[in-house]
Amino acid sequence: MRVNAEFITSVAQLDQLPREQWPEIALVGRSNVGKSSMINTLVGKQDLARTSNTPGRTQTLNYYKITPDEGRSKPFYIVDMPGYGFAAVNQRKRADWSKLIEQYLRMRSVVCGIIQLIDMRHPPQPLDHMMSEWLQGNDFNYLVVGTKADKVAKTKVPETLLKIAESLNTDSRDTLAFSAETKLGREKLWQWMVNAVALEGRILNF
Ligand code: GTP
Ligand code: MG
């Protein structure tokens, strides 16, 4: 898909959320799972979102405005989140981030889809389970994306995804594999986002 993508703002407190409201798609997942890399791969710009080998890189809600089809379709936001589960970030900061994420997800009514990223090299961790249960319990439009698929043997990708879906107790049809290296899953992911936005548009009459 051809899109125009621009960085809009970083939000450290909820009173800084953008006033201009478009449907929002939020990316959640452990630190270092590949959230920021996913944005760069989706939009085809390697340095739009800051990525790092050092977990804990993203410390605010970062808003990217996506305008598909060179302006013929309505824009939406992709929101990059701080990762959870990173021990070396101090306790206080971690508590601040999780509060920010939870409050954001609770109060921001324009969230039309949430993508939870799971590193395909490892089974889901306790914090992934907690997040998944909470999202499913709150009836979000929810997709699980297995990241770093390039690190898993090609033939093992489908069964690895299935195991992740089983472990998180989600429908395996709501999962897909992604790689920022090979761009696997890029078009399917766009499709899911555009559908989520269209669904929201029909409900809210955007
Ligand atoms: P935080 O901001 O700390 O929450 O991390 P993040 O989830 O945004 O992860 P980020 O995109 O910064 O990526 C973390 C590391 O994983 C970087 O070194 C990336 O290059 C690497 N990485 C991300 N996606 C992939 C992928 O699909 N394949 C491989 N092989 N490496 C990846
Ligand atoms: Mg990041």
Q: Is residue 159 part of a domain?
A: yes
Q: Enter the tokens of residue 96.
A: 């601040």
Domain count, the chain: 1
pLDDT of residue 125: 94
Percent of the chain with pLDDT over 90: 61
pLDDT of residue 203: 54
Tell me what the mean pLDDT of segment 169-178 comes to. 95
pLDDT of residue 202: 63
Q: Is 30 in the pocket of ligand 1 (CB under 6 A)?
A: no
CATH number for position 81: 3.40.50.300
Q: Is 99 in the pocket of ligand 1 (CB under 6 A)?
A: no
Express each pLDDT in 89-100 by its tens digit. Answer: 667 776 777 788
pLDDT of residue 87: 57
Q: Is residue 206 part of a domain?
A: no
Is residue 45 over pLDDT 60? Answer: yes
**Mean of the per-residue pLDDT values for the chain?**
89
Q: Is residue 175 part of a domain?
A: yes
Residue 155 backbone phi and psi in degrees, to 5: -70, -20
Q: Is residue 131 part of a domain?
A: yes
Is residue 120 over pLDDT 50? Answer: yes
pLDDT of residue 79: 96
**Residue 132: DSSP 8-state:** H
- Residue 174 has a CB neighbour count (10 Å cut-off) of 16
- Residue 117 has a CB neighbour count (10 Å cut-off) of 24
Specify which residues 143 forms β-bridges with: 115
Q: Is the dihedral of CA 183, 124, 91, 17 positive or negative?
A: positive
**Residue 83: DSSP 8-state:** P
pLDDT confidence tier of residue 65, bands split at 50, 70 and 90: very high
pLDDT of residue 122: 96
Does residue 79 contact residue 61 with C-beta atoms inside 8 Å? yes
Please tell me the distance between residue 45's alpha carbon and the centre of ligand 1 in angstroms: 15
Specify which residues 142 forms β-bridges with: 114
Percent of the chain with pLDDT over 70: 94
pLDDT-wise least confident of 33-42, 53-62, 134-143: 53-62
DSSP 3-63: EEEEEEEEESSGGGS-SS---EEEEEEBTTSSHHHHHHHHHT-TTSS---SSS----SEEE
pLDDT of residue 26: 96
Q: Is residue 205 part of a domain?
A: no
Tell me what the mean pLDDT of segment 106-123 comes to. 94
**Domain region containing 167:** 3-199
Mutate to test the pocket of ligand 1, among 28, 31, 32 (most ligand atoms within 8 A of CB): 32
pLDDT-wise least confident of 51-55, 129-133, 152-156: 51-55
Tell me what the mean pLDDT of segment 50-55 comes to. 81
Tell me what the mean pLDDT of segment 155-180 comes to. 96
Q: Is residue 30 part of a domain?
A: yes
What is the rounded radius of gyration, in angstroms, for the C-alpha atoms of the chain?
16
Tell me which residue of 130, 32, 38 sits closest to 78, measured CA to CA: 38
Q: Is residue 204 part of a domain?
A: no
Mutate to test the pocket of ligand 1, among 30, 35, 37, 125 (most ligand atoms within 8 A of CB): 37
Helix H or strand E encompassing 147: strand 142-147
Does residue 161 contact residue 176 with C-beta atoms inside 8 Å? yes
199-131-134 Cα angle (round to 5): 65
Tell me what the mean pLDDT of segment 167-179 comes to. 95
Q: Is residue 52 part of a domain?
A: yes
The pTM of the full predicted model, rounded to 2 decimals, is 0.93
